[in-house]
Amino acid sequence: MGTTQVFAPVGGRAVPLSDVPDPVFSAGMVGHGAAVDPPHEVIEAVAPVSGKLLKLMPHAFIVMTPENVGVLVHLGLDTVQLKGDGFTTHLSQGDDVTAGQVVITYDVASVVAKGLNPIVPVVVMDEREAENIVPSEAVLEGAQILSGTDLFIANK
């Protein structure tokens, strides 16, 4: 079994995934992980792990690690309906990325102004066992964290 350290793609308040106000994420339907509630300003969303940019949309991206752990970063809830408004991508699908590398600029304030929740769920794709995710102390405490800080460890 391998372990993958997953870092926060944005700064803000670390939140347990179960507290995300969207049943698809809170129930772990996509996978298990944690989330970050970002400040309402323009921020940089960075790769939470190193690997290949498997999927890139304006509002979300997936990085596949060399160990085949897919990590989804979803910028806000229901943000697909914005059709890219409020997001600027800096890379291309298929690019190799390093943890901490900027992937998308996220205009959180513009998303909030449109009445959407800006929270950023970060999940291990298709992870069905919540016990395989070990959240950081910050997630358990709901603490403020910086981008690039430990968010959780995925055991696969």
Q: List the domain boundaries for the chain.
A: 3-155
The catalytic position among 32, 40, 59, 74 is: 74
Q: Residue 109 carries which DSSP code?
A: H
Question: What pLDDT digit, counting tens, does each position of 133-142 carry?
Answer: 999 999 999 9
pLDDT digits (tens, 9 = 90+) for 34-65: 999 999 999 999 999 999 999 999 999 999 99
Domain formed by 3-155, architecture:
Distorted Sandwich (2.70)
Note if 40 is an active site residue. no
**What pTM, to 2 d.p., does this model score?**
0.97
